[in-house]
Amino acid sequence: MIKKVNMKRFIYFFIFFLLLTLGLFYIMNTLSSRTLQESLVNASKNQLAYAEEIIDGAISEASMYGIQYTADNDVRFYQNRKLELSNYDAQMNKNEISGRLADQLFSSLAVESIGIYWKQDGTFIQTGHDSLAKLPFEQVTERGWQTYNNSLYYFSVYPYIHQPKNPANIEYIVGVKLKKEYLTGLLGKAVNGDSSNAFFLVNDSLVISSKPVDSRIEEKARATVTPDPQQILKFDYHTGEDDYYVLSKYIEPIDTYLVTYTRMSDFLNPLNRNQQVFAASIIVILIIGLTVILMFYRNFYRNVHLLGKKFHQVEQGNYSTRISENPVNEFYTLFKSFNHMVLRTQNLFASLKIETELRRDAEVKQLQAQINPHFLYNSLFFIMSMAKSSPEAVMQMSKHLAEYYRYLTKLDRHDATLASELQLAGHFLSIMSLCKELHYEISLPPELGEHRIMPLIIQPIVENAIQHGIEELQGAHRVAIEVKALDEGALIIVADDGKGLTPDQLELLAARVGSEAPPEGSRGIGLWNIHQRLKNAYGELSGLRFFTNDWGGLSVMAYIDFSLDEGGDYEITDCG
């Protein structure tokens, strides 16, 4: 039979392959997105660290200026000299200090102005010309960084080494103001192009930035940042349209956070578009593939499946099956050839069945002709010899002989049952027991007696047991016929206590009986004939089997399968 094409498995495999491709692409896209994001985050961290280094330099510079002029002798002794000098000389001394401060700023990019304020008399020296520049100095109470009016200052007080606990004891204050433009310019070194922005968050209140800051991210940063100067902290922020990653670094000296945020969608959108294009391509391929599979199913698979189904019906013995479909393709010729082949096969088996029936009838008649003359001669000679001495024996012989030949003359293969075949064997054994010393037993379960079997199967085996077993061993005199139910059939065992066979002889006998051609000569032809008839009628398992029994003689075993009802599927096969 043509092997069935498993179309469902093919479709499942095709869909699985596409889903696997989509899954792999999804994993690759996810890994690519993650790698890209990690690269962007690392680049942003490096830029943030670089900007921090520059800010640290500006902080150090401003702190150095403050400490330098706090410890400067001209500044320290300015008030004392002011009292000793004339107004002109005092003004010249003041101008000299102011000039030195201004000269200091020529080489600085980060410092906007430097101022010195004496609290005792309110004297104020500065590098700029802002009239309000003195105001933040008047509010200073300690050394350090402070914010005033959105500007970042570093203040240093004198006495410097032992800072006064009481602000009233401070003699003068040196203040250094950082350029706001310089700080905002540094923010450009901490961002990745137009998709990023940065700002300073000073004292959790002041925001310094060169570009407008997203208020939502500003609020999130205020709630998230922590004063850890050792690490760059990261958190993600999601809006309805965009995804951001936010980095923050705490700059401890000025109590300020440098915060950068980058919109990831600008970098991931190209990847997402590629993923969408690829997914759409896979869907198109899936639709095309399913269309091709559907066409393949309609034009090929259904026809192959139908042909396989019809072949299976023929294999089961249904030779009347035909294919009525007429597809407009190559299968039309194939179906037509199939119908023609099955028709010829049906006709062939019909003629073969008739021939087999005739052959079986001829075989039975031939067996009857072979058995009757030899057995009849022996029985008649027994009657002649016992007529005067034992009339009772003659009467028993005549009775069994009459029953025996009546069965043979009226025998029809449809009338043979296990019970009738065993009765025939019983008549034969009774006749043989009158001629010689012979004891026999026949065991048949009542429920098996009415099952039909092929005729003349058991009696030839019994006759063979007497001729080739018991008669060739002096003192042998026992024959047993036992029938047992087995599965859907019956197991028939004929045993004798005769000569028996060696293992090599058993093997040789099995080979002779199982041969396709009949053995040469007359020895073994009867068992070979029975073996072939059993196989032809009931299958390979029903042939004869030989083994040595507990008596030391030979046991012959045959299996009859009642489910085949005398032939079944084998009824029209070669009888050999």
Give the residue from 172, 170, 140 showing the smallest Cα distance to 153.
140
- SS3 category, 121: coil
Spatial distance between the Cα atoms of 334 and 319, rounded to a whole number of angstroms: 17
| Alpha-carbon distance values, 432 to 117, 405, 557 (Å) | 153, 15, 22
Confidence of residue 574 (pLDDT cuts 50, 70, 90): very low
Q: Which residue has the higher pLDDT, 441 or 286?
A: 441
How far does Cα 240 stand from its chain's mean position? 38
Confidence of residue 492 (pLDDT cuts 50, 70, 90): very high
Q: Kindly report, residue by residue over 304-349, the tens digit of the pLDDT.
A: 878 888 888 888 888 788 888 777 777 878 888 888 888 888 888 7
- Give the pLDDT score at 113: 92
Contacts of residue 428, defined as CB under 8 A and 6 or more positions apart, other chains included, come to 375, 404, 459, 462, 463
Contact in structure between 158 and 172 (CB atoms under 8 Å): yes
Section 404-415 average pLDDT: 70
Q: Kindly report, residue by residue over 155-182, the tens digit of the pLDDT.
A: 999 988 888 888 888 999 999 999 888 8
Spatial distance between the Cα atoms of 67 and 156, rounded to a whole number of angstroms: 6
Contact in structure between 142 and 210 (CB atoms under 8 Å): no
Q: Kindly report, residue by residue over 47-78, the tens digit of the pLDDT.
A: 888 888 989 999 999 999 999 999 888 888 88
Give the residue from 220, 200, 191, 186 showing the smallest Cα distance to 150.
200
Spatial distance between the Cα atoms of 216 and 197, rounded to a whole number of angstroms: 13
